[in-house]
Amino acid sequence: MSDLAPPAPEAVPATLRGGRADVPGGPVRELLEPRETALGGNTVVRRLLPNLGRRMVGAWCFVDHYGPDDIADEPGMQVPPHPHMGLQTVSWLHEGSVLHRDSLGSLQTVRARELGLMTSGRAISHSEESPRPHARLLHGAQLWVALPDAHRHTEPRFEHHPDLPVVTADGLHGTVILGTVDGATSPGTVHTPLVGVDLTLREGSSARVPVEPDFEYAVLTMAGLTEVDGVRLEPGSMLYLGSGRRELPLRALTDGSLLLLGGEPFDEKIVMWWNFIGRSNEDIARARADWMTSDRFGTVHGYAGARVPAPALPATPLKARGRVR
Ligand code: MN
């Protein structure tokens, strides 16, 4: 073998970061269709990740958009105690608020544009409910971030960050949820290079948001009619953008708001089932059994209702899958 020959693949050290193999080498514009799913209470959500053929954007692996719903005469969100493993949950609201309880004893109201960040690590359980009394409207997104192998067994933790950094430009107001945008960094703990920013645009305005060429990105339209990289978007739609950009052009046809999610492509294969993320069928089966028969996931106190039993495991063993398939 000459000195110029590339190293054999097995000689390349495994990496927990990066990996562009399955990422389009440049910008793409791929519209992801939402799938309607019923949650607890009367809440119907539109699931955008995982999606057919697109399972992750960076470490972002789950995106539900809900509302705006008029819940004046309704209980609103009522999600009884349930477990999580191997991920972080991000509660993000535009209207209304959610009362979070968890097995660490946290009791926290998360209001619009405040960050409720729960790191499940090896095990946590929580409930989420609309407080009583509550505002008329409920509108938000529920997001999950997959934890890398080195951090997925970490101790569980809940963070509430009511004052997040903002970035502004003419007609644009951005709130940095996680990561860094234009030098402004969220206090939320992250375990892989990623970013989440809430962008509010005034009708008729245009902006160019600086982005990382090595990150892949997607935008979720929360409200209004916008154009992202020339593609017209309506509320509730998600556009996958690929990578390779240094800035992202935005235009507001009406007042509007977008969530921009991005990150270094997640290079590990994961098994995502129910509320758990593991690396194997055994990880998931053990977590399920532990939720049903042990106190591994702790106890949520104060929720008026029973905890959620785990569904049956599928007949065929779950397989670890990558971010695309
Ligand atoms: Mn949850």
The answer on pLDDT for 57 being more than 60 is yes
Q: For residue range 104-114, list pLDDT tens digits in order.
A: 999 999 999 99
Could you tell me the distance, in angstroms and rounded to a whole number, from the CA of residue 274 to the centre of ligand 1? 10
In a domain, 298, yes or no: no
In a domain, 19, yes or no: no
The answer on pLDDT for 12 being more than 90 is no
77 — phi, psi (to 5°)? -75, 130
pLDDT at 15: 34
Could you tell me the distance, in angstroms and rounded to a whole number, from the CA of residue 84 to the centre of ligand 1? 7
Could you tell me the distance, in angstroms and rounded to a whole number, from the CA of residue 15 to the centre of ligand 1? 29
In a domain, 209, yes or no: yes
In a domain, 100, yes or no: yes
In a domain, 175, yes or no: yes
User: What residues make up the domain containing 186?
Assistant: 24-263
> Where residue 44 sits, what CATH number does that domain have?
2.60.120.10
Could you tell me the distance, in angstroms and rounded to a whole number, from the CA of residue 104 to the centre of ligand 1? 14
Could you tell me the distance, in angstroms and rounded to a whole number, from the CA of residue 272 to the centre of ligand 1? 13
The answer to whether the CB of 67 falls within 8 A of the CB of 139 is yes
The answer on pLDDT for 16 being more than 50 is no
The rounded distance, in Å, linking the Cα atoms of 266 and 185 is 21
The answer on pLDDT for 254 being more than 50 is yes
In a domain, 201, yes or no: yes
In a domain, 299, yes or no: no
HSE at residue 26, side-chain half, CA atoms within 13 A, is: 0
Could you tell me the distance, in angstroms and rounded to a whole number, from the CA of residue 56 to the centre of ligand 1? 18
Q: For residue range 70-91, list pLDDT tens digits in order.
A: 999 999 999 999 999 999 999 9
In a domain, 67, yes or no: yes
pLDDT at 26: 87
The rounded distance, in Å, linking the Cα atoms of 91 and 89 is 7
Q: For residue range 157-172, list pLDDT tens digits in order.
A: 999 999 999 999 999 9
Mean pLDDT, the chain, whole residue set: 92
Average pLDDT score over residue span 194-215: 97
Q: Whole-model pTM?
A: 0.92
- Who wins on pLDDT, 11 or 48? 48
**Domains contained in the chain, number:** 1
Could you tell me the distance, in angstroms and rounded to a whole number, from the CA of residue 126 to the centre of ligand 1? 6
Could you tell me the distance, in angstroms and rounded to a whole number, from the CA of residue 211 to the centre of ligand 1? 29
